Amino acid sequence: MQEPKIKPQLKLVAINYIGKCAGNAEKSLIAAGYSPKYARGNAYKVVARKEVQEYIQYLNENIDNARDIMDIQDIQEYWSNVIKDKREKTKDRLRASELLAKSKGAFISEW
C-alpha cells in the first residue's frame, strides 16, 4: 500500500494514536500539538477522519516503517546511558551530560 497523502499534524495524530498514546485519541491530539481544550471535545472526530484512519491502517500494515517518537523520558535515559558508558568518547559523554542537565533545568538562573 502506498503512503496516503495527509497533513503533517494529522500524521502525528495517527502515529501517536498507534504508538505512545496507545489508542487514546485525546492524548494523541495533544501530543500532535492541538490544545488540550480542543482535544477534549474533538478528539474522536479527528481520529475518525477518513485520512487519519487510512494512515493508521497504512502504519499498521507497514509497522517497520512507522516512526517511533521518543518522549523526554526516553531521551533522558539515552543520555544517561551515554554518560555511564566508558567506551563512549569523553566529548560525547560530556555533551550528553550537558543536554541531560539542560533538560532537567539545571542551567536556569533567576538573576
Which pLDDT tens digit goes with each residue over 32-53?
889 999 999 999 999 999 999 9
CATH architecture of structural domain 8-65: Orthogonal Bundle (1.10)
Which pLDDT tens digit goes with each residue over 52-85?
999 998 888 877 654 566 677 888 888 899 999 9
The structural domains of the chain, with segments of one domain joined by +, span 8-65, 72-103
In three state form, how does the secondary structure of 37-102 look? HHHHHHHHHHHHCHHHHHHHHHHHHCHHHCCCCCCHHHHHHHHHHHHHCCCCCHHHHHHHHHHHHH
